[in-house]
Amino acid sequence: MCSSPGFRVGASLPTRLEFKILRLVALASAAASAGGCADAAPETSTVYEAPSEPDVVPLICSETGGPSFVEGLKPAPAVDYVAFRRVVEGQAPSALEVDGVACDSAKSSEACEAALAALQPVTTWPYGTLERRYFAYTRGDEVGSIGSDEELLAFLGSIDTPNEAALVLWSLDRPVNCGHLVRTAEGFAVMQNQTIGPSGGCSKQVMVEVVVQRDGSITENEVGQGSWVCVGRRPDGLLQTAGSEPRRGAGAYFAHVAGLELAAVAAFAELSHWLVAHGAPSQLVERCRVAGRDELRHTALMSELARSCGAEPEPVRFLPSRARTLLELALENAREGTSRELFGAAVAAWQARFASSPDVRARFAEIARDEAQHAELSLELASWLAVRLSEQERVLVARERERAFAELDRELASEVSDEVVAVAGVPAAANARRLLAELRAELA
């Protein structure tokens, strides 16, 4: 057992969103356990550790915001024209992206164009139930198609550009967002999370460096020991979150949360920087800065609890920030703000109700209040961004939010330890999924 370091909070009137969250907690709570743990700790600070500057190479982006699949390619031998096509059952093929001029160096452009129009690919990549995708190209008089991993590697030859590496990763069902890759001696690398297994409100995420070799093969190198990623806003390029496996006990859980809170400080600092760059209203920028100060306070609150249970938060590591478009900001806000951060506020409100000790409940009550305000900020930011995006971009943002909610639901599939449920008040799996369902229903 740990002794409480002691904590007191002041009260203020809840916002409308907080009232909704409290109502959702009441609706979703059927039963919860209580237990105990939480010793005063020496006051030491947790610090950022930034890795050395990587050799970053930017991707060429498509109009939809992802990496282009036709620009930035250097097939061997070169081609006149390449198109990334989609075909839906019962419909004619349509081009999603095009680069170059079809049949530009053909001896007979009419015959070449006729062959291209009549092209029937032998192999294609499935995309959903009825849709399939493939590439069409012309090289002099030659007209061809690419619809398999093997054909793609033969077409590209050596992987010489970041967009070729991104295309290889897509074909292997390891897609990357448009941004940058890192050039290595072997090829091109990107950091990706791999989910090891869901656990209550968290799932174990192992950070892996995926390297696309020059011959198109990939290698994977685990970075650190992985971490248990829960809810809340995370900075772009986060390499390692702090804390040990929450299943091991309350101390490890509190250390983990302290690391996530510290990561959120960086996330809000990045967000405010890019909002200023895009001319956002000063009110939004200032609220981001206030949110960052809130997260720093949350880091201290959780670090005290972790140390009182004999655990120590670990440093947070992330790649340097890069320029962000309005669409990228909107996608990140959908992924981190209007889904995970919103659910995080609901989970904190649950913990403020069901944690074992008054001290722990009081800490999470303060965090819940702040996180609800951060979630409101995310929703207002989403509205500001939406009017500056095209209709197609708004559809992409809506899909990203639904994808984030679906990922959360998968993460909540199995149980966290009884000690963490009892001491920290974390909802058990069934309650967590019920809480998420109530939240999504409220937003529908």
Cis omega (within 30 of 0) for bond into 77: yes
Contact 295, 266 (CB under 8 A): no
Q: Work out the angle between the directed axes of helices 342-354 and 358-386 (0-180°, nearest 10).
A: 160
Percentage helix, strand, coil for the chain under 3-state DSSP, each rounded to 5: 45, 20, 35
What is the model's pLDDT at position 214? 95
* Integer angstrom CA distances of residue 297 from 23, 182, 258, 291, 300: 26, 34, 10, 10, 5
Contact 241, 315 (CB under 8 A): no
What is the model's pLDDT at position 404? 84
What is the model's pLDDT at position 151? 95
What is the model's pLDDT at position 197? 43
**Cα gap 205→211, rounded to integer Å:** 18
Residue (of 243, 210, 238) closest to 228 by Cα position: 243
* Integer angstrom CA distances of residue 206 from 3, 194, 253, 412: 33, 5, 17, 17
Phi and psi at 222, nearest 5°, equal -70, 135
What is the model's pLDDT at position 140? 94
Task: Specify the length of the chain in residues.
Answer: 444
Please list the pLDDT of the chain residue by residue as tens digits (444 residues): 455 444 333 333 345 565 566 555 555 554 333 333 433 333 333 333 333 456 778 899 888 778 999 999 999 899 999 999 999 887 889 999 999 999 999 999 999 999 999 999 999 998 877 889 999 999 999 999 999 999 999 999 999 999 999 999 999 888 888 878 888 888 998 877 665 443 333 444 455 778 999 999 998 876 543 334 455 687 766 665 444 444 458 888 888 888 888 888 888 988 999 999 999 999 999 999 999 999 999 999 999 999 998 888 877 776 666 667 899 899 989 988 888 888 888 888 889 888 989 999 999 988 988 888 898 899 999 999 999 999 888 888 988 888 888 888 877 776 778 888 889 888 888 888 888 888 888 776
**Cα gap 6→117, rounded to integer Å:** 75
- Any idea of the CA torsion for 432, 436, 441, 444, to the nearest 10 degrees? 180
Handedness of CA 136, 138, 141, 144 (dihedral sign): negative
What is the model's pLDDT at position 292? 92
- Any idea of the CA torsion for 330, 334, 340, 343, to the nearest 10 degrees? 120
Strand partners, 56: 182
**Domain segments of the chain: what residues?**
16-53+191-443, 57-169
- Residue 15 backbone class (left: φ over 0; alpha: ψ -120 to 50; beta: rest): beta
**Cα gap 420→243, rounded to integer Å:** 14
What is the model's pLDDT at position 237? 65
Q: Is 205 exposed, middle or buried (0-12, 13-18, 19+ CB in 10 A)?
A: buried
What is the model's pLDDT at position 44? 35
Cα atoms in the Cβ-side hemisphere of radius 13 Å centred on 349: 29
What is the model's pLDDT at position 62? 87
